[in-house]
Structure 1
Amino acid sequence: MAAVLVGGVGSPLLLRSVRHRHCLSGRRNRPTLFFSRTRTATAASSAAVSVQTRPGGDVPGGKARTGMDILACPICYNPLTTICTVGPNEVTGLECGNCKKAYAREEAFLDLTVSSGSKEYSVAMPASTELFRSPLVSFLYERGWRQNFIFGGFPGPEKEFEMAKEYLNPTLGGTVVDASCGSGMFSRLFASSKLYSLVVALDFSENMLRQCNDFVNEEGIPRENLVLVRADVSRLPFVSSSVNAVHAGAALHCWPSPSAAVAEISRILRPGGVFVATTFIVDGIFMFLPFLKALRQYYTSSTGQHLYFSAGELEDLCTTCGLVGFKCVRNGSFVMLSATKPS
């Protein structure tokens, strides 16, 4: 594929891929231009975040932990306890029994960031993270932005979901965290499939979570197995070894510190739990540039995004964070990877 620039900060320069010994490479279909159907965002109608606790079937590590018992304080990682409810499964406040920090529901989501509840202090993130906190980008993400990824080899959400399910099959019936869920494109697919006892739609962007909530309301998706959480992917608010699966669609390259994030994912996964992610690989002519490392450092410092030049780099990232059994599949600049927490 000739070099094409795709979709702004969320999509780095894409170049034709070459086969790697680490990955299976799919035959790339010619991109077709299409228009997304127009959605009418509705006002958030949910009065509280709804979570239902129910058993999870045969999953890695034995019986799955579901419901509020998997949530932890992002400061000290101790389990959170419910301090306010408006119904049997509707939670509006949580508290850490160790540091006594309280976490309140913000609109349609639980804010489980370290800075939750602060009045003066605010967190400034890299440009690539702040971009997706914008109301405009959050509104446009499923209305044309994400569709541009097809030019980089992304098969499309439904196909990507089917591909992810193959890797995630051993974890069905348990808890899945859709990390950096954006407007909830995959979170809604997970929730609608009813393959998991609990789906956590997690993102740092408040506006993305509001969009997710609007789409959930618009599509009439049941909330008994879905909870929206605002959190930092490098400080995940979950009890260690409590989650069966983590999915991250088109997000890895946007994380400020991929190693910190993957280390956190490794921490929260149960033994035998699975991490599945998609991202871009930029290779082709770049592989022969003598100033490759300098180019990457400049790009990362300027945009806050990370360029990956080989499947080997992604495998190293997973291995150094304690995950094993790395697998991946390629299609153009698209790569889907999978790795497992050792049993």
Structure 2
Amino acid sequence: MDKNKKAMSSLEEAIACPVCQKTLTTAPSDCNQCQNYFRQEVTKMPLAPVDLTPAQVKDGVDVVNFQPLRTELFRLPIISFLYERILPPIWAMGLRNRGGMDTEFQQCIEFFGQNLGTVADISCGTGIFARRLALLQQCQQIIALDYSETMLGQLQQQMQRDGILPSQITIIRGDITALPFAPNSLDAVYSGAAIHCWPDATTGVRNIYQALSSGGKLFATTFLQPLPSIIFRFFTADELQQIAITAGFHPDCVQVETRGVYGTLKCIK
């Protein structure tokens, strides 16, 4: 099997309908649950983005107020436009990590290790991590998922600027509370500075746990208390660890590192 066919095969086994829970290889040709939307939508992969949010799969239309403000905020075109133009320099000054995304990417790659299979960048934003991973060319398949269609639009533009082919990153609009992945289908998941934006952190981490294969790894970062939970939901380091354990990770396989108000969660299934 050549490289492209092998990558497509792994996609067919990994991506699942958030409604009927079937993959492309198991979805019926006539599905009463998702009205065949899933099978039709995934034919776009990997050359075009697919929308696998539950609302879209069920009704064919988006629900504007489906998520809390901390999630919906990132769908605003102005936010997605400024996301990569404003935030990285601020992160690099130390708000996120000393060295910003360069440091975070290196830490994540060291944690993931070599010879990666299927890796998902969940809550990818403009795909800063996914694009770096594609340029590294050390994994079989990269999936970039976000709820914001405007963020994913920026991702496509940045891929063109970086010279990354559409076939190198599969782009999915998805919902962290109903991830479109089959159980045990992902080798690693990265989620950068995102948990505080999710509708429900425990549900999100649980869904990631279920999607990871045995030995699969999660590297997630988020801002922490004492930042006030006004729009975003911030946690303590202990709460973050408990979320991972409640989601299914064994306590011995959960590590939380903090630097100021920034936390890194490392888990192994």
Length-normalised TM-score, structure 2: 0.85
Structure 2 matches for 1:197-216, cutoff 5 A?
Answer: 197-216=140-159
Secondary structure at 1:216's aligned position in 2? helix
Name the residue aligned to 2:208.
265
User: How many Å separate the matches in 2 of 1:153 and 1:267?
Assistant: 28
Higher relative CO (Cα under 8 Å, sequence separation at least 6) belongs to: 1
Name the residue aligned to 1:307.
234
Name the residue aligned to 1:101.
36
The Cα shift of 1:101 comes to 3.0
> What are the superposed Cα offsets for residues 2-39 of structure 1, whole Å, 9 maximum, x if unpaired?
xxxxxxxxxxxxxxxxxxxxxxxxxxxxxxxxxxxxxx
Secondary structure at 2:116's aligned position in 1? coil
Select which of 23, 40, 51 maps to 1:111: 51
The Cα shift of 1:148 comes to 2.2
Select which of 21, 35, 38 maps to 1:77: 21
Say if 1:121 and 1:218 are closer, same or farther in 2 by CA, change over 3 A.
Answer: closer
User: How many Å separate the matches in 2 of 1:98 and 1:70?
Assistant: 21
The Cα shift of 1:308 comes to 1.4
Residue pair 1:176, 1:200 contacting (<8 A) in 2 also: yes
Structure 2 matches for 1:1-343, cutoff 5 A?
Answer: 52-54=4-6, 66-81=10-25, 99=33, 100-103=35-38, 104=41, 105=44, 108-116=48-56, 118=59, 122-124=63-65, 125-149=67-91, 150-155=93-98, 156-169=100-113, 172-283=115-226, 299=229, 302-303=230-231, 305-309=232-236, 311-324=237-250, 325-341=253-269
**What's the Cα RMSD here?**
2.7
Residue pair 2:55, 2:61 contacting (<8 A) in 1 also: no
The Cα shift of 1:97 comes to 5.2
Count of equivalent residues = 255
> What are the superposed Cα offsets for residues 253-295 of structure 1, whole Å, 9 maximum, x if unpaired?
1111000101100111001100110111224xx8xxxxxxxxx
Q: Which moved more, 1:241-250 or 1:98-107?
A: 98-107
Q: Moved runs in structure 1, 4+ residues, more than 6 A?
A: none
The Cα shift of 1:317 comes to 0.6
The Cα shift of 1:223 comes to 3.4
AA at the equivalent of 2:138: L
Secondary structure at 1:339's aligned position in 2? strand
Residue pair 1:72, 1:96 contacting (<8 A) in 2 also: no
User: How many Å separate the matches in 2 of 1:96 and 1:225?
Assistant: 30
Say if 1:269 and 1:98 are closer, same or farther in 2 by CA, change over 3 A.
Answer: farther
In structure 2, runs of 5+ residues without a counterpart are none
Name the residue aligned to 1:7.
none
AA at the equivalent of 1:241: N
The Cα shift of 1:119 comes to 5.2
AA at the equivalent of 1:321: A
Residue pair 2:184, 2:211 contacting (<8 A) in 1 also: yes
Q: Which moved more, 1:147-156 or 1:196-205?
A: 147-156
Residue pair 1:79, 1:96 contacting (<8 A) in 2 also: no
| Higher helix content, 1 or 2 | 2
Secondary structure at 2:18's aligned position in 1? coil
Say if 1:115 and 1:95 are closer, same or farther in 2 by CA, change over 3 A.
Answer: farther
Residue pair 1:243, 1:269 contacting (<8 A) in 2 also: yes
User: How many Å separate the matches in 1 of 2:186 and 2:30?
Assistant: 19
Secondary structure at 1:144's aligned position in 2? helix
The Cα shift of 1:95 comes to 6.8
Say if 1:102 and 1:120 are closer, same or farther in 2 by CA, change over 3 A.
Answer: closer
Say if 1:192 and 1:98 are closer, same or farther in 2 by CA, change over 3 A.
Answer: farther
User: How many Å separate the matches in 2 of 1:336 and 1:222?
Assistant: 30
User: How many Å separate the matches in 1 of 2:37 and 2:29?
Assistant: 4
Name the residue aligned to 1:25.
none
AA at the equivalent of 2:235: Y
Structure number, greater radius of gyration: 1
